[in-house]
Every structure is written in structure tokens, then in C-alpha cells.
Amino acid sequence: MSEFRLYFNLIRGSPIYLIGLLLVSSFVIIGILAPYILTKPADAWGLTYDISRRFQPPSPEHPFGTDEYGRDVFNRVLLGTRFSLMIGVGVVALSLAIGIPVGLVAGYVGGKAGTALMRVTDMFLAFPPLLLAIALAATFGRGLLNTVLALSLSWWPWYSRLAYIQVNSVKSLPYVDAAKVVGVSELEIMFRHVLPNSLTPIITQATLDIGSAILEASALSFLGVGVPPPTPEWGLLVSSGWGTISRAWWISLFPGLSIVITVLGFNLLGDAIKELMDPRLRNLLSVRRV
Amino acid sequence: MPVSREYVVKRFLLLVFVVLGVLAITFVMTRIIPARPELLWAGPHATEEQLKRAREVLHLNDPIYVQLYYYLSDFFRGDWGVSWRTRSPVLNDLLTALPATLELVITAFLLASIVGIPLGIYSALRYGRFSDQVVRFMTILGASTPVFWIALILQTMLGVWTGLLPAGKRVDDYLAYVTGFKPVTGFYVLDSLTQGNLPVLLDVLKHLLLPAFVLSIYPLSLSSRMSRSLMIEVLNENHVRSLEVWGIPQRKIVFKYALRNVMVPVIASLGLSLGYTLVGAFMVELVFVWPGLGYYAGMALLSYDYPAIIGVVILVALFYSIINLVVDLIHVWLDPRVRL
Amino acid sequence: MSEESLLNISNLTIHYHTVEGVIKAVRNVSLNVSRGESLCIVGESGSGKSTLGLAISLSLPRNAVVVEGSMVYEGVDLFKLSPPERQRYRGREISMIFQDPATTFNPLFTIGEHLVDILRHHFGVSMDEAVARAIELLRKVQLSDQDRILRAYPHELSGGMLQRAAIATALSTNPKVLIADEPTTMLDVTTQSQILELINTLKQEFGLTLLLITHNLGIANEICNRTVVMYAGALIEEGPTDEILLNPLHPYTAKLIKAVPTITKEQGRLSYIPGMLPDLRNPPAGCPFAERCEFATRYCNSSSIKRVQVSPGRRVACILHGAEA
């Protein structure tokens, strides 16, 4: 109750957070509904080619204009929401599926085996973000699934490190010792006690990372190693207007704006949650040196 | 605070370990994951003959450990394969392109620290006020913007439509020719300065401005956000309160004492974001036709020039590891508490 | 001891604005401090004693608001001053040391950098002169090897040494008032008594007026001739320390005395005060202790209780002693 009131007060104090929440929820809703609310599905899926409608500027008929094949950009951007949602959720879910078990085992087993596992993780972290994903994507070849795979393979170490730290801090809590004394098995302790307690912060972090995953996926597409055309992925849509941008700016502008708005939503929300979670920042808002 | 020799040695050993890790991962990625590595290595339009040659070059007919041996020895001998786009050795291409990228990235980083850190501190000092909220929103926006998109948009608006700034390249070729400009080091700012070539210097700076700004948006946002939250945190610490009680003016507490507490971690994180910025340069250089590492990487990616891609990846990863090391050493040097 | 008043606080009320609401940390506190005396402010954590200390040293956190009241120091109401005028009093007239010596100094600066900077700022002396004075100050707080201490970073010194260095820094400005906020709480027992003794010695030497903030009435007894007791932001009892210890008037003070650990009582169980501090966002109108008090009557909650003088120098805010509105 008091926690809830605290959050409420914070959100009221800074409308920025409300915007974040609004952006993220509308992104998710549009992403789910996108295929069913298209006005020009054939354009959206990239099945049409109408030379007479090429490069039309924004108008009531085509709010975002048309592209070099005469397709309606608005419909393509709308459907792109679905792809971004799939990629974002897919990358984060797959990274969690790899990262959490690795971190969990390394943290729980500890000792030499645990250290060795974390050293492998560190090797992956020796690549700057995005670089490894680029290399992997180039190796796997273009494709929606390959893009998700390439990004996940470069992301999971972050989560295994998080899980590792979490497990180590939870492991030393008194009730885990208590469970051991009572004779609960190691595995049961791990799954019934350690895991649920370690999970919440990692899942929170991962949810907020969906925005960055979308950003990185769009970079892969832009560089030609991500999703192949004619998929209406936002990064790909931006790059499709690249050559003609000086006379048909709308082809690149609107998909890019969609990326900005979506990622912004996740980042605003992330900033708010970070402020709520961080006891030091929170103290600031409630300095009590009484 | 002098850094202990033990620490430096330990840190160098870690660097060796990391480099081997990078090579191990790239080996697995290039030789084991693909079903037929020679297809990637020789390019999509390779003939049967070229594929056969590629198999020999990669030693694919030998057992894995022999392949690994040749992989490592080739790497350390500087034989990083041949780009089939440029038809020249990858390492040569990379070293030729490096100065252009460094010039761009360094400029972007100067921009990021000179603007970002003061902005974050200003925001912290106005904590909770309107201007703080604006700065905060802008920096979150900056971190949310795809660099390739903002590069395209600004290039079109400022370069193509209005012609306020050059739309691409490093220097006006005609001007460089007329004034007898000679790229010696590959750092054009430096070259034009040492040659006393003022017109070219101005032209180079004009060309540098837009791509460097675009590239700096992410590190700028990062350094600003970090210095803001760190400054807020530090100002709430007991030692700031004691200086206040002892009569040191607020201004001096912030700009002499707290600033150091803020700068140490910000410098560290800026150093680390250099890796991400180098990758961002792939896209920025591609858009601005900036003949550096990023342009090379971007073109390699767009044309699926696999040896070139892997070469860039390894070089950037090595670069990143070395930056990591340098950042660590600086950190130890600046913070007397860190003694490892 | 002279009875000349140095500092006169009247009706001071301080609120903290936090996300959880407005916390009324100090409520309607009046206090008179004579020049050269040692006064203890005693209370539990949450009693508002530290806030009072920060208010006197003009260093309240930014989210604190002085809602009401005045603080007259040598004839000047410090709360009415402009920020630059106030700056002339910080450190120079009123200085302070804190509970945790480990966080008193900035970890990235040496003790010497702090001390020399403060000396140069306040007295505009040369670097050499400042260093010489710093060494002299460190000698006065009985730290040997002063050169090494000056060059040391805070993490290189022990808690006791840091607290001595903090005392030296606080006194470097030649203040008239020194506020010591729980100066020994974070130290081990042997160091505690040394530090208290040092504070006592320096009080004489520098002719200080000492305000010692503590939760421990035993410490109050060692140092201070006069004590005020705070509870939930209110000042509930005031008087000579020995009288309060022998004959506490307020039921809370009596409980607090029982809770002080002494060596003779070591074997037995420590007594504690049952119940919780009232919520300071919404403090009771009457006696704040009424809820936990065994002598509470229904008048305690309703009436607004004032402090009354019981004997010369002794005041108490309790209905048992005739303090009625």
C-alpha cells in the first residue's frame, strides 16, 4: 500500500514516466493488433508493385506517403510494429533462456566450475555491444529467426552475469541456510527458493531491454545483415528510402520515428523504475536525517 | 597514486586471456558454425575453382586442431585473409582506414565529454526543476535514437537541402588538390595543421562537424545521464555535508570536490562506450561516405564481404579490450581506494 | 560559568518534504544556550536531535524547510539572513563533527587537502602557513606523525584517527560553537572515551560552547552540565544533567535512563521501551509519548501540552507535573 502510494507520488511528480508507460503499452497493443487493423494488407506485406503510385508525398490517402514500389508506407510501418515486438520479445526471451541457467548454475555451484562458466561469459562480453551480433548475423545469413538468434547469442551474457550476482546475494540469505538445515534438497532449494528470488530484478531489466533489442535489430537490418526485404521491419524500411531520401524523405522518416518513439517509451519507463529501485536515488527523494 | 606493477602485469595477463577468447569465439563462428565456411569466405558468386582455393587457404580439409593452429598463426603473422570486394589483404585495408575513423571517433568523444558532462552536472544542480526534466528527457531521447536514421535525416536537411554543411566525405578534393594538401598521417586535422593549410583545415572541420555530432549523440547522452545521477548521489553524501558545515562555499564543493567523484566513473564509462561508438561509426561513416573503418565495415556488410567483416570485428574487439585495460589503469590511478 | 545567552532558539519547527509525505521532524522547540556551556541533546534516532544540530549549523538538507521560529545568535536571527550572509557563520562561528568519521572526508582527497583548503578559504593564508597551521591542529588533537596524516587518504586511517582529524578540521576555523553529532557511536569502546576526553579538553582550550548530540545519557553525564531530552521532534525535558539522571521528571526520560547500558548492569537484561515512535507525518496533538506511557491519562492525548518550569533551570512537558494548556 505504502509502496503503491510512493510510486503514485513519483509518477505524479514527473509526468515523463506516464508518457513512458503510455508509449510502451500502445506499442504492445498495436503490435498485437497490427495484422488485423491494416487498411492495405497487401501493401503492408510488400506484395504489391504499382509504378503509378510511386513516391507520393503524405496525403490523407497515404498519411506517410508511398515508397518506390507504390506501397503505402503507413501500412508498412504499422505492420512493422508487429515485427519489432516479435524481435524484441524474442531476443529478450531467448537471452533469458540461455543466460539465466548459466548464471544460476555458475552462482549456485560456485567453485572452479562456476568461475570457468563466468569466464566464458566474460569472453562474450569482450565484444562491444552490437559487434558480436553483427558478426553472428553475417555468419547465419539474413532472416527473422537468424536475427533473433544473433542478437540473443550476443545478449545472454548480461543476464547470466545478473543472475550470477543475484544468486550469490540470495544464497547467503539466512532462510536458504535454514532450508538446508531442515533437509531440503539442493535442487529444490535452487528452484523453489533461489530462483524465484533472483528472478524479479532480472525479468524487470529484461523487459526494459526490449527497447534496446529493437534498436539493435534495426541497425542489423540497416546494415543488410538483419531481416530480408520485403519484410516491413523498421530499420529495413529506413534503409529502403535511403537512396531517394532527398526527394522522398517520408519513406525513411516515419519508420525511424517509430523506432525512436518505441525505444523512448522503454527507456523512459526504465529510467523511472531505476529511480524507484535504487535505494540511494530513492533516499534522495526522501532524505530523512532525523 | 602510482599504479602497482603487480596490478599492471595482472591486467595484461587478463588482456591476453580476453584476446584469446575473442579469437576462440571468432574461430568457432567462422569455421564451426557454418556448414560450408568456404562459401562465406569466397563470396556469393565464387566459382568452383575459387571455392577449392578457399578450402585450401582455410585448411578445411585438415582436422579442427590443425585448422585452429593455422588460424592463430595466420592471425599473428598479420594474414587476416583477402577481401573479395577490394581484392587486397584485409589487414592492409583496415590499417589504411583506421586514421579516418579515429579522427571521427575522437572528435565525437571530445564533443560528448565537453557537452555531456557539464550538461549532466547542470541538470543535477537543478534537480527536479523544469530545466532538469528537459535535459533528462533530451538525453533519454538521444539514447533512443537510431544513429543511422538521425544521420540520414540531418545529412538530408543540413547537407543536401540547405547546403549549410557538406553532405559527406572528409575534405573537398578540389580544394585539397589546389592547395597541395598531402595526407601524411591520415588525420586530416593534424595534417592540415602541420602543413599550415588553413583553408583545408577549415574545410576538414566543416566536413567533420556533422558526422562527429551524430556519432556523439549516444556517448553524449550517456555521459550526461551518468554525471547527473552521480552528482545527485555525491551531493547527498556525508562528506559534502561536512564541507558545507565547515564553511566551504557550495560552488567550490561542487566544482572542486564533488566533480572529482563524478569524473572518475564517468570517464570509465565513456571509455567503455567507445566500443559501441566504433560500431555506430559503421553506420555513420556509411551514410556520410567517410572513408574509415566504419565505411569499410558497412560496405563489407552490405556486400557480404565475409573476410573483411570478420577482420573488422576482430580489430574492433581488440581495440575495445585495450581501451578496457587503459580505462582500468586510469581508474586505479585516479581513485586512491582502488588497489588491486 | 557566565550565564550570557549565546544562542536563543524559539518555536523552531522544521519539516522534511519527501515522496512519502511531509515529515514534521522538529516541532516547536525553544532552547537557550549560554556562552561556554556544554549542553547535551539526548534522544532516540528519529527524535529530531540531528535535524536540530544541522539547523543550528545552518546546513539543513535541501528538502528541509524551517516552517516557523527564530534562531538568534549573538543578537542576529540567522534564519533571516541571506545565503551569502549565512555563509559567514558556517564553520567560522558554528562548526560540527559527525557520527561516521569514515564518510566525513571526501574519499578522493587527502586529509591535508581538506584541512589546508579550509584554512586558506577562511583565513586567506599562504600554502606554507596553512600547512604549518594544519600540523599544529593535528598535534592539538593528539595525532602523531602529522605529515603522514596530512598526506593520507581517508581510507588509509582508522575511525579514531579520522574522528580526531575531523575535530581538528572543525576547530581549524576557530569557531565559538561546536556541535558534535554522536561523535563516538561508530567507534570502539576504548576510542570512545579517548575522543570524549579530547573533546572535553579542547572545549576548555578553545573556549568552546559545546552541543553534544547523543542517544546515551551516560555520555551526557560525562561531558555536559546541562541536558535537554527530545522525543518525536519535541523537547520534553530540560535541566542540569545530574538532576535529570537522579530525578527524571518525564516518564520517557526515566525509561531512557533505564535503557542506558552500564558496566554494573551488564549481567541483567537491558530494559527497553515498548511501543513505536509516532508517525511524524501526522504527530499526535498532545504528548507524543502518551501512547507508550504507563501513566498516560486521557488528557495526555487531547490537550496541547506546554513545557513548564518546575524548579530553576528545570522544565518538563508532562501532565504529571502540571503542564497543562
Q: For residue B142, which phi and psi values (nearest 5 degrees)?
A: -60, -40
CB count, 10 Å around CB of B5?
A: 8
Give the model's confidence band at C201: pLDDT under 50 very low, under 70 low, under 90 confident, else very high: very high
Mean pLDDT of B55-83: 85
Task: For residue C127, give the 3-state DSSP assignment.
Answer: helix
Task: For residue B202, give the 3-state DSSP assignment.
Answer: helix
Per-residue pLDDT, A239 = 92
Distance CA(A19)–CA(B192), nearest Å, equals 48
Distance CA(C13)–CA(A230), nearest Å, equals 69
**Closest Cβ–Cβ partner in A286, A289, A290 for C20:** A286
Look at residue B281 and tell me if it is in a domain: yes
Give the model's confidence band at C219: pLDDT under 50 very low, under 70 low, under 90 confident, else very high: confident
Residues forming a β-bridge with C64: C16
Look up residue B266 and give its three cell numbers: 564517468
Between A185 and A49, residue with greater pLDDT? A49
- Half-sphere exposure of residue B214: CA atoms within 13 angstroms, side-chain side: 27
Give the model's confidence band at A149: pLDDT under 50 very low, under 70 low, under 90 confident, else very high: very high
**Chain A residue nearest residue C51, CA to CA:** A290
Look up residue B252 and give its three cell numbers: 567550490
Give the model's confidence band at B4: pLDDT under 50 very low, under 70 low, under 90 confident, else very high: confident
Distance CA(B269)–CA(B219), nearest Å, equals 9
Q: Does C282 touch chain B (CB under 8 A)?
A: no
How confident is the model over C35-61, as pLDDT tens digits?
999 999 998 888 889 999 999 999 888
**Closest Cβ–Cβ partner in A124, A224, A252 for B301:** A224
Find all residues with CB under 8 Å of A135, minimum gap 6, and list them. Answer: A127, B26, B29, B309, B310, B313
How confident is the model over A71-99, as pLDDT tens digits?
999 999 999 999 999 999 999 999 999 99
How confident is the model over B278-298, as pLDDT tens digits?
999 999 999 999 999 989 998
Distance CA(B118)–CA(B229), nearest Å, equals 13
Q: Does B146 touch chain A (CB under 8 A)?
A: yes
Between A263 and B46, residue with greater pLDDT? A263
Q: Say if the Cβ atoms of B144 and A223 lie within 8 Å.
A: no
Is residue C272 scored above 80 in pLDDT?
no
Distance CA(A167)–CA(A194), nearest Å, equals 7
Distance CA(A218)–CA(A235), nearest Å, equals 4
Beta strand spans in chain A (E): none
How confident is the model over C109-159, as pLDDT tens digits?
999 999 999 999 999 999 999 999 999 999 999 999 999 999 999 999 999
Q: For residue C207, which phi and psi values (nearest 5 degrees)?
A: 60, 45
Give the model's confidence band at A277: pLDDT under 50 very low, under 70 low, under 90 confident, else very high: low
Per-residue pLDDT, B130 = 86
Distance CA(B286)–CA(A238), nearest Å, equals 14
End-to-end CA distance of chain C: 34
Mutate to test the interface with A, among B85, B149, B244 (most CBs of A within 10 A): B149
Distance CA(C203)–CA(C209), nearest Å, equals 7
* Contact present, A262 and A80 (Cβ < 8 Å): no
CB count, 10 Å around CB of C254?
A: 15
Q: For residue B335, which phi and psi values (nearest 5 degrees)?
A: -110, 110
Share of residues in chain A with pLDDT > 70 (%) = 90
Per-residue pLDDT, B89 = 92
Look up residue B89 and give its DSSP letter.
Answer: B
Angle of CA points A199, A205, A206, to nearest 5°: 85
Look at residue B242 and tell me if it is in a domain: yes
Look up residue C139 and give its three cell numbers: 598535534
Interface of C with B in 31-70 (CB under 8 A): 54, 57, 59, 61
How confident is the model over C95-118, as pLDDT tens digits?
999 999 999 999 999 999 999 999
Is residue C276 scored above 90 in pLDDT?
no
Look at residue B56 and tell me if it is in a domain: no
Q: Say if the Cβ atoms of A285 and C19 lie within 8 Å.
A: yes
Q: Say if the Cβ atoms of B29 and A239 lie within 8 Å.
A: no
Distance CA(A191)–CA(C311), nearest Å, equals 68
How confident is the model over A14-38, as pLDDT tens digits?
677 788 889 999 999 999 999 999 8
How confident is the model over A99-127, as pLDDT tens digits?
998 988 888 787 888 888 888 888 888 88
Provide the CA B24 distance to its chain's centre, in angstroms. 23
Q: Say if the Cβ atoms of B236 and A283 lie within 8 Å.
A: yes
- Is the torsion defined by CA of B168, B173, B179, B181 positive or negative? positive
How confident is the model over C285-324, as pLDDT tens digits?
788 888 888 887 877 876 667 778 888 888 888 877 775 5
**Chain A residue nearest residue B130, CA to CA:** A14
Per-residue pLDDT, B39 = 81
* Contact present, C171 and C139 (Cβ < 8 Å): no
Give the model's confidence band at A278: pLDDT under 50 very low, under 70 low, under 90 confident, else very high: low
Concatenated DSSP letters for A243-262? GGTTT-THHHHHHHHHHHHH
Give the model's confidence band at A287: pLDDT under 50 very low, under 70 low, under 90 confident, else very high: very low
* Contact present, A241 and A57 (Cβ < 8 Å): no
CB count, 10 Å around CB of B73?
A: 10
Find all residues with CB under 8 Å of A29, minimum gap 6, and list them. Answer: none
Range of the domain at B212: 90-290
**Chain C residue nearest residue A13, CA to CA:** C19
Per-residue pLDDT, C223 = 87
Per-residue pLDDT, C31 = 92
Concatenated DSSP letters for C250-271? SHHHHHHHHTS--STTTTSPPP
Q: How many domains does chain B have?
A: 1
Residues forming a β-bridge with C41: C213, C228
* The domain defined by A3-251+279-289 carries CATH number 1.10.10.10: no
* Contact present, A149 and B316 (Cβ < 8 Å): no
Find all residues with CB under 8 Å of C129, minimum gap 6, and list them. Answer: none
- We report the CATH number of the domain holding residue B238 as 1.10.3720
How confident is the model over A157-167, as pLDDT tens digits?
999 988 888 88
CB count, 10 Å around CB of A144?
A: 17
Per-residue pLDDT, A5 = 65
B248: chain C residues, CB-CB within 8 Å: 91, 117-118, 121
Q: Say if the Cβ atoms of C104 and B242 lie within 8 Å.
A: yes
Look up residue B91 and give its three cell numbers: 589487414
Is residue A283 scored above 50 in pLDDT?
no
Concatenated DSSP letters for B274-335? HHHHHHHHHHHHHHTT-TTHHHHHHHHHHTT-HHHHHHHHHHHHHHHHHHHHHHHHHHHHH-
Is residue A281 scored above 60 in pLDDT?
no
Q: Which residue type, as a one-letter code, is found at position B340?
A: L
CB count, 10 Å around CB of B268?
A: 18
Distance CA(A203)–CA(A20), nearest Å, equals 18
How confident is the model over B126-166, as pLDDT tens digits?
887 889 889 989 999 999 999 999 999 999 999 889 988 88
Distance CA(B180)–CA(B195), nearest Å, equals 10
Look at residue B35 and tell me if it is in a domain: no
Share of residues in chain A with pLDDT > 90 (%) = 38
Pairing type for strands C209-214 and C226-231 reads unpaired
- Is the torsion defined by CA of C274, C275, C276, C279 positive or negative? negative
Mean pLDDT of B74-88: 85
Distance CA(B158)–CA(B155), nearest Å, equals 6
Mutate to test the interface with A, among C14, C15, C19 (most CBs of A within 10 A): C19
Rg value, chain B, Cα: 24
Per-residue pLDDT, C1 = 43
